[in-house]
Amino acid sequence: MTEPKKKKTNRSEEGAFDLKAELISWLQIIVCAVVIAFALNTFIIANSRVPSASMENTIMTHDRVIGSRLTYRFFGDPERGDVIIFKWPDNEKVLFVKRIIGLPGETVTISDGKVYVNGTLLEEPYIREAMYPEPEMSFTVPDDAYFCMGDNRNESMDARYWQNTWVYRNKIIAKVYFRYWPGIKKIE
């Protein structure tokens, strides 16, 4: 007859607690958690904090948002109205969160505080307040690039004012899906 296998524990044969085995066990758990968090944040999700009022009321100052790095890689192209996390064209070390307004090949015109795409007024239910009128501006978006603006147009440092106007597809990090701090809110 075979002897039943004993369950492995962190106690020695005499019943004393084995501190070394317990510490190794905890260290393994911590290392696994760090590796999983790193992999998620590097390949699947993008986590960003919004430092300014440029996206209010969609995303408030100091909100934290999460986006999917996989959306545009596997599931389709960026679309008008998507809120994205991207490398700011004027300093790629800085990440920005803005909304896509103009798609490749389109002409975006800003006139009398309104946005037109290819001559048609853009319906923008997410806008916080009417944009202050400013001199008319027109932008023709090149291939593989996007024109992005903040939802709070009067407080947004966006493509209208950047030295390098376009957000190229390869500089888009993620599509934002929800705010997780403070509280959870779907971003549309």
pLDDT tens for 131-155 read: 998 999 999 999 999 999 999 999 9
Domains of the chain: 44-186 (2.10.109.10)
What pLDDT is stored for residue 128 in this prediction? 82
Q: Report pLDDT for 41.
A: 84
Q: Which of 54, 68, 156, 175 is catalytic?
A: 54
> Residue 93's pLDDT is what?
96
DSSP 129-164: SPPPP-S-EEEEPPTTEEEEE-SSGGG---TTT-SS
Q: Using CA atoms, how far apart are residues 49 and 62, in angstroms rounded to an integer?
A: 6
Name the burial class of residue 155, with classes exposed (0-12), middle (13-18) and buried (19+) by CB atoms within 10 angstroms of its CB. Answer: middle
Mean pLDDT of the chain: 92
Residue 25 has pLDDT above 70, yes or no: yes
The one catalytic residue among 68, 98, 156, 175: 98
| pLDDT tens sequence across 65-101 | 999 999 999 999 999 999 999 999 999 999 999 999 9
Mean pLDDT confidence for 122-134 = 92
Question: Do 84 and 176 meet the contact criterion of CB atoms below 8 Å apart?
Answer: yes
How far is 51 from 123, CA to CA, in rounded Å? 26
Please state the rounded mean pLDDT for residues 57-70.
95
| 176: three-class secondary structure by DSSP | strand
Residue 14 pLDDT: 56
| C-beta atoms surrounding 8 within 10 Å | 7
Whether 98 is catalytic: yes
Confidence grade of residue 13 (pLDDT, cut at 50, 70, 90): low
pLDDT at 11 over 70: no
Contact partners, residue 109, CB within 8 Å, separation at least 6: 115, 116, 117, 119, 136, 137, 138, 139
Single out the residue of 138, 83, 75 nearest to residue 106, CA to CA: 138
Evaluate if residue 4 carries a pLDDT over 90: no
Task: Decide if pLDDT at 1 tops 60.
Answer: no
CA–CA separation, 39 vs 62, rounded Å? Answer: 25
Query: CA of 23: how far to CAs of 15, 28, 29, 171, in Å?
Result: 17, 9, 10, 43
| Known catalytic membership, residue 8 | no
Q: Are 107 and 145 in contact (CB under 8 A)?
A: no
Beta-strand ranges (E) seen in 18-63 are 45-49
Tell me, what's the pLDDT at 17? Answer: 75
**Residue 6 pLDDT more than 80?**
no
| Six-digit token string for 117 | 């795409």
